[in-house]
Amino acid sequence: MSLRIGVLASGKGSNLRNLVERGLLVSAVATNRPSCGAAAFARDRGIPLGEFSQRGFDSLEQRDTAMRDWLLGLGVELVVNAGYDRILSGAFIDAFRGRMLNVHPSLLPAFGGGMDAVQQALGRGVKVTGCTVHLVTEDVDAGPILLQAAVPVLPDDTAETLHARIQVEEHRLLPEAIHLLEQRIDSTRASLR
Ligand code: GRF
């Protein structure tokens, strides 16, 4: 069964675009950066877009509560962080526990906890890096891992060329992880019936 997906995004939105173009049920997009590429894509496709700039709220908790309630109001059952650049507060994570994924551009636990995982991998001279899709918990970039893909680092790689190859793998992995999680949620529901 397909669940209604809410995507959180702050960046150019290639993962969001990929999910939509593969026919996944993206019912809502929430962003903290209304001028980002992901927000433009959502507007263009007529996908409900929630704009949650921090300056509209007194605290992170208030913003996350508003974002949570907006997503729940649209019937979102599964949340995908696809390039969302803020740490989520406990109340948000609680509402979607076990139903929220993040995609990160490294083989976690290597190079977690920051925004520059690709640059860090290059800086450390690793020969292989990649991407990870994991469940979101309070521990940043450290929730249970669902899927990973390895990407070789080439001698003349820049952060841009390496990130581009990692994103090819992200675009393959994220939809697969969503299907896996949907199946898992489905069988949990069936066993409770
Ligand atoms: C991806 O590389 C993802 O791993 C990271 O942010 C990037 C988002 O890319 N968390 P995009 O906006 O989906 O193109």
Percent of the chain whose pLDDT exceeds 90: 93
Strands (E), 15-125: 26-31, 49-51, 78-81, 100-104
Of all protein residues, whose CA lies closest to atom 5 belonging to ligand 1? Answer: 83
- 91 and 112 part of one domain: no
Q: How far is CA 80 from CA 29, 105, 121, in A?
A: 9, 15, 24
Q: Counting atoms of ligand 1 from 1, which one is nearest the CA of 12? A: 12
- 117 and 161 part of one domain: yes
Percent of the chain whose pLDDT exceeds 70: 100
- How far apart are alpha carbons 22 and 173 in whole angstroms? 12
- 134 and 184 part of one domain: yes
For residue 26, the model assigns a pLDDT of 98
- 24 and 44 part of one domain: yes
pLDDT by residue (tens digit) across 102-133? 999 999 999 999 889 999 999 999 999 999 99
Residue 96 corresponds to which tokens in the numbers above?
């979607």
- How far apart are alpha carbons 28 and 54 in whole angstroms? 19
CATH number at residue 133: 3.40.50.170
Across the range 19-27, mean pLDDT stands at 97
pLDDT at 1 exceeding the cut of 80:
no
CA atoms within 13 A on the CB side of 56: 13
Q: For the chain, count helices (H), then strands (E).
A: 6, 7
Which residues neighbour 16 within 8 Å (Cβ) at sequence distance 6 or greater? 7, 9, 26, 29, 38, 41, 42, 82, 83
Expressed in angstroms and rounded, the spacing between residue 184 Cα and the centre of ligand 1 is 24
- How far apart are alpha carbons 162 and 139 in whole angstroms? 26
- 161 and 87 part of one domain: no
Of all protein residues, whose CA lies closest to atom 6 belonging to ligand 1? Answer: 83
Expressed in angstroms and rounded, the spacing between residue 75 Cα and the centre of ligand 1 is 25
Q: Counting atoms of ligand 1 from 1, which one is nearest the CA of 131? A: 4
44 neighbors 67 (Cβ within 8 angstroms): no
Q: How many domains does the chain have?
A: 2
179 noted as active-site residue: no
pLDDT by residue (tens digit) across 142-172? 999 999 999 999 999 999 999 999 999 999 9
pLDDT at 175 exceeding the cut of 80:
yes
Q: What pTM value is reported for the model?
A: 0.96
Domain that holds residue 180: 104-193
| Locus of tokens 């991998």 | 121
pLDDT by residue (tens digit) across 63-86? 999 999 999 999 999 999 999 999
| Pair type for strands 78-81 and 100-104 | parallel
* Domain final position from 69, 96, 123: 96
* Domain final position from 72, 96, 120: 96
* Domain final position from 96, 114, 143: 96
Expressed in angstroms and rounded, the spacing between residue 132 Cα and the centre of ligand 1 is 11
Residue 27 corresponds to which tokens in the numbers above?
């019912």
- 7 and 91 part of one domain: yes
Expressed in angstroms and rounded, the spacing between residue 148 Cα and the centre of ligand 1 is 15
The pocket around ligand 1, CB under 6 angstroms, is made up of 9, 11-15, 38, 82-83, 103-105, 131, 167, 170
